[in-house]
A and B are shown apart, each in its own frame.
Chain A
């Protein structure tokens, strides 16, 4: 009998091990985040490092974010128009564009683009510092790597991503407007009127809340995986991949949870 049960036990065993490994990883990430925050509230502070990171995460991401937003807004307008024309609902274009961009596409696409750009860079930089012993060197030079390296990245992302999402929302709506007015023949004033009507403070607030979470996850995953990197160049490569993939997953997962809770 035990022979027939063996594969079944093995199957559940491996599920159990996966589950335990996942819990352990969540625990480590939580401890990492808590350590950073508890250290960051006590001096020394590094405002110039924070500013550096704000530029790196925010300002230098703007071209990528702008392009993402304008392309998505334009495509969304065309898709809505094409789909709507089948049942005489083409007038929904401005409403769908503004709701779609502000509630979903803006935050999520910006989150994913910036995760690809920033989580990877953070993991690669910190991972290289780890494997070349620069992180150990910091500690022996009486500088706390959490305060000096991690906290500025975490807080910069927390500030920069929501701001970028606001910019992306504006650009995305403009992308839709552009296609609607110049290609699909909408009246410019009417389009903007409808847009304004459907643009609510609640939606913007939710976009900001979402994107703050996304920003936190982007920096947290980049820093966490970089900080733990080991095993030379290959280890840094793995850390970079893990950072981007886990940031993507956390962004999409938290987006789903927040959305389901908000409309539930």
Chain B
């Protein structure tokens, strides 16, 4: 018997108004795998991510995590299932009213002020993992640079030790060097913590570095998926056009 995929999407469909953003997405992500979804802006990558997170409810299809269908779950079961997930938002989405250490430990305290000494210690440990020192603990998010905010957001996502981490365009808005630092961190997390990673991006350098497998989303469907090494000789005209960044081709 084959292993149950960590995440399995079957025929996921979501339309806004009459516009089908996801039009039957099928995708399987194995345990411990780093999957990267590429695709143009507006191709439905974020919507797909938010469907898996349960932030958006798909119109049709099934989303299974460890074989359990998220859409058949009650609100309370879904809340429990979310403990498996961590998410790095594109704009970091740090809570600007809270100091860094409370941001990092938010999933553990659910926003309540308790066990402060212990939480500060946990925050410092997780910040260290992403290469930040304890001098940032008491700062506010707005006092940090964009790259540092991303790292804090990453520390916040990994603090509860999720089994799956979603990365929404983790390198967007960073210079190439800072972007590579984030890429390294993602690779490290997948290897050291054994997490399953799902990243959406249109940064090809990032995709090449962090992916085990790559899938391409186009017009609401997965048009290609394969190992990272095949990305540049996929034989798929959509993928070719995208990875080479050509204006001409089947994608308009």
**A, B: real partners:** yes
Query: A residues within 8 Å of B by Cβ?
Result: 44, 46, 48-49, 132-134, 136-144, 148
- The answer to whether B55 and A139 have CB atoms under 8 Å apart is yes
Q: Which of B20-28, B81-89, B176-184, B233-241 contacts A (4 or more CB under 8 A)?
A: B81-89
Smallest CB gap from A139: residue in B: B55
CA distance A139 to B110 in the complex (A): 10
Known contacts: A142-B79, A142-B82, A142-B83. The answer to whether A137 contacts B111 by CB under 8 A is no
Apart from A133-B91, A140-B53, A141-B110, what are 15 other A-B pairs with CB-CB below 8 Å?
A46-B112, A133-B89, A134-B94, A137-B89, A137-B94, A138-B95, A140-B55, A140-B85, A140-B86, A141-B106, A142-B82, A142-B160, A143-B106, A143-B111, A148-B110
Q: Is the interface of B mostly helix, strand, loop or mixed?
A: loop
The residue in A46, A49, A141 that gathers the most chain B C-beta atoms within 10 A of its C-beta is A141
Contacting pair A133 B90 (CB below 8 A): yes
Q: Evaluate contact between A136 and B107: CB separation under 8 angstroms.
A: no
| A134 & B79 in contact (Cβ 8 Å cutoff) | no
Which chain B residues lie closer than 8 Å to A148 at the CB level? 110-111
**A121: min CB distance to chain B, Å:** 12
Docked-complex contact B87 and A143, CB < 8 angstroms: no
Q: Which 8 pairs of residues, A with B, have the shortest CB-CB distance? A: A137-B93, A133-B93, A141-B107, A140-B87, A143-B110, A133-B89, A141-B106, A134-B93
Residues of the B chain whose Cβ atoms lie less than 8 Å from the Cβ of A44: 110, 112
Interface residues of B in 141-178 (CB under 8 A from A): 156, 160
A46 cross-chain contacts in B, Cβ below 8 A: 111-112
Closest to B87 in A: A140
Q: Of A133, A134, A139, which one neighbours B82 at CB under 8 angstroms?
A: A139
**Chain B positions within 8 Å of A141 at CB level:** 106-107, 110, 156, 160
Question: CB of B113 within 8 A of chain A?
Answer: yes
Residues of chain A with a CB closer than 8 A to B95's CB:
134, 137-138
What are the residues of chain A within 8 A of B156 when measuring CB–CB?
A: 141
Cα A139 to Cα B53 in complex, Å, equals 9
A139 to B93, CA, bound (A): 12
Q: Which of B65-88 contact A (CB under 8 A)?
A: 79, 82-83, 85-87
Question: A136 to B55, Cβ gap below 8 A?
Answer: yes
Q: Which residue of B lies closest to A45 (CB)?
A: B112
Q: Is B202 an interface residue (CB 8 A)?
A: no
Cα–Cα, bound, A18→B112 (Å): 43
Q: Are B87 and A137 in contact (CB under 8 A)?
A: yes
Q: In angstroms, how far is the closest chain B Cβ from the Cβ of A164?
A: 24
* Cβ of B140 under 8 Å from chain A: no
Please give, as numbers and ranges, the residues of chain B lying within 8 Å of A143 by CB-CB distance. Answer: 106-107, 110-111
CB proximity of A51 to chain B, nearest CB, Å: 11
Q: Tell me if B50 counts as interface (CB < 8 A to partner A).
A: yes
Q: Closest residue to B90 on the A side, CB-wise?
A: A133
Give Cα A143–Cα B87 distance, bound, in whole angstroms. 14
* Complex alpha-carbon distance, A136 and B91, angstroms: 12
| Bound Cα distance from A133 to B79, whole angstroms | 18
A185 to chain B, nearest CB (A): 53
A142 to B93, CA, bound (A): 15
Q: Which residues of A contact B86 (CB under 8 A)?
A: 140
Q: Closest approach, in angstroms, between the C-beta of A39 and any C-beta of chain B?
A: 9
0/1 string, B88-117, CB within 8 A of A gives 1: 011101111000000000110011110000
What's the Cα separation between A49 and B112 when bound, in Å?
Answer: 9
Task: Give bound CA distance, A137 to B106, whole Å.
Answer: 10
Inter-subunit contact A136/B79 (CB<8 Å): no
Residues of B within 8 A of A140 (CB): 53, 55, 82, 85-87
> Which residues on A sit within 8 Å (CB–CB) of B55?
136, 139-140
Q: Within the assembled complex, what's the spacing in Å between the Cα atoms of A148 and B83?
A: 18
Docked CA distance A143–B107 (Å): 7
Complex interface: chain B residues within 8 A of A134 (CB)? 93-96
Cα A143 to Cα B156 with chains together (Å): 13
Query: What's the Cα separation between A48 and B97 when bound, in Å?
Result: 14
